[in-house]
Structure 1
Amino acid sequence: MSLLIYILIGAAAFIFMEGVAWFAHKYIMHGFLWNLHKDHHLPHEGFFEKNDLFFLIFAIPGWLCIQFGWSSETWWVVSIGCGITLYGIAYFIVHEIIIHRRFKLFEKTNNRYIKAIRWAHKMHHRHLNKENGESFGMLFVSKKYWQKIKRDEQVKEQLSRIN
């Protein structure tokens, strides 16, 4: 197989992981493993949360694909592992750095994507229990959140014209 095929396999795995993350967040984290996830929805002391254990849980498939694919020279499996791992890195950057600001970067931004993803996540966190949640994905933002950001910008622009 050519390098391009392996890159496409990795990209497909990356995109597929958004669906996996959505499903796991909605039905596992807000389901039978709520006891590990609930501290993420509640105020708490300290830097770490029980919810951080999901990082390890989700890292295992990527690591296994890379390890076993490499040792058996099954490069398409390595590509899947790389796609999963890259999604994990993107998830960490978006969720921990951009949204929750656990590391003080991207504090003030005019980027529409960042505003939309933060608003979607805010709507997710307004629910303090495992029921009636919304916005379970991470990297892909629903159209309604993009529209909300656009409306906010239009109102801000109109107010600036008045002043």
Structure 2
Amino acid sequence: MTRTHSYEAEVIWTGNQGSGTSGYKAYSRDHVIRAGSKPEIPGSSDPAFRGDPARYNPEDMLVASLSACHMLWYLHLCATNKIVVEDYRDHAQGVMVETADGGGHFESVTLRPRVIIAAGGDLALAERLHAEAHAKCFIANSVNFPVRHEALVSYSAAS
């Protein structure tokens, strides 16, 4: 049985500085992202494109979405396989290439999860579950560039 899910977000540009988009430098790239009653996310463009470095940009959000999706699948798979994860941190990195026409695309994203599991857990299985998490990740299955993972799994120091 196939199930479908629907997601909605509202993006509101807040960067009109009085003259709209009358010139390339006349407006801010600031915006807010809303989804239902959840907290707003302050957005902008990448600073390379006149964005506010204190706000999230779409590229940040794409890399974070891939990382979070992988993590959530991984934690689920560990739980169902009786592997107790005590800590999970990922330093994900995406590479985007600008093209001569001013456009661009992501070339790749590399996830680098560092996972600590409780003593007695199956370390080899915990390592292999990253491949299964990758295969099941909804976001990774939706992009047209490679998403790699360089996972490191170790036992808790308290073990």
TM-score, normalising length from structure 2? 0.28
TM-score, normalising length from structure 1? 0.27
